[in-house]
Structure 1
Amino acid sequence: MKGFEPSLFDKLFDDSPVQASRRRLSLDELKDSVARDLEALLNTRTVVDETRASRFPQGLRSVASFGLTDFSGMSLASVNDRRTICEAIERAIARHEPRLQDVQVELELDRRSINALFFSIRAMLVVRPAQEPVNFDAMLKPTTLQYSISRQR
């Protein structure tokens, strides 16, 4: 059997679940699936902050901490706030997307736009037997606080 197994989200939201058990994904389909799952992760807001969640052994990796904290009170003019946002995205991906390792997130300051912020997400996609570097573009619309993720091809 060749290909990769679909993610849990792909299995749960499959339009033809009867055939899902036999369905295998190509590497490109898998990367698209990871992009969709990243978008879901970044568009989810957690109400449990890291300090509170870290008091419990599995608190930071639990569903209760799935997503990002609200960054609406931070300033993109501040170097420290920009770093904090990028690091929070890196930690969320590292905790809740096991297919990605060595995650690096950077705010792309040279892609200035009035209506959007752009992030570059670089990581190593690790799914046996494959291991391959991947890059994703993340666009945040400040007016809606919604992320849109696309895979660099």
Structure 2
Amino acid sequence: MSLMAKLKGQWRGDVDDIRDAIIENLSAVLSARAPMWESPELSSQVHESIATLGMVSSLRSQGKSSSDLILHDVKQLIVKFEPRLKDVVVELDENSVATNKLKFRIEGLISSKFGDEVVVLDSSLDFTTSSLDVRKTNLV
């Protein structure tokens, strides 16, 4: 769902729109720069706030251990900042570890007034261009 469609009042309000809104939010959350504060003294005060929004691990060198840390950050950000997605699982595409484009799959459950729906999002983080891609997959 595009911003223009929302502004024009063409928001249908169905489960597809909820999924699209979640994808938009995940893209924004995961594309955010590193957190503003990482100070241990402030951690109890800002732990659940937007001051912690952003990925820290993406600056590390690419490799299996770094990939695991990055995907751990991805899952933690999703759990913290996208409450509409439950039972989140983030899985690494092992073939992408040796490349500059980390591919992973985000799976979760959307509970809405329309019922429960499993959503699978094929995603990638490109270290060369510093870009993120989150897309709904047709395969579940």
Does residue 31 (structure 1) correspond to residue 16 (structure 2)? The answer is no
- The question of whether the paired residues in 2 share the 8 Å contact of 1:125 and 1:131 is answered with yes
Percent identity at matched positions? 23
Q: Which residue of 2 aligns with 1:19?
A: 9
- Cα shift readout 1:48-101 (whole Å, capped 9, x = no counterpart): 238565321xx222121122225222331x43x222211111110000001011
Q: Which residue of 1 aligns with 2:43?
A: 54
Letter in 1 for 2:95: D
Query: Structure 1 pair 132/15, CA: closer, same or farther in 2 (3 Å)?
Result: closer
Q: Which residue of 2 aligns with 1:66?
A: 53
Unaligned runs of 5+ in 2: none
Q: Which residue of 2 aligns with 1:149?
A: 134
- TM (normalized to structure 1)? 0.74
Query: Structure 1 pair 142/95, CA: closer, same or farther in 2 (3 Å)?
Result: same
Query: Structure 1 pair 24/116, CA: closer, same or farther in 2 (3 Å)?
Result: same
- The question of whether the paired residues in 1 share the 8 Å contact of 2:85 and 2:110 is answered with yes
| CA RMSD in angstroms, aligned pairs only | 2.7
Letter in 2 for 1:69: V
SS state at 1:74 partner: coil
Provide the C-alpha distance between the structure 2 equivalents of 1:75 and 1:114, rounded to a whole number of angstroms.
8
- Out of 59, 72, 75, the position equivalent to 1:87 is 72
Map 1:105-124 onto structure 2 (within 5 A).
Answer: 105-111=90-96, 114-124=99-109
SS state at 1:67 partner: coil
- TM (normalized to structure 2)? 0.80
Count of aligned positions: 137
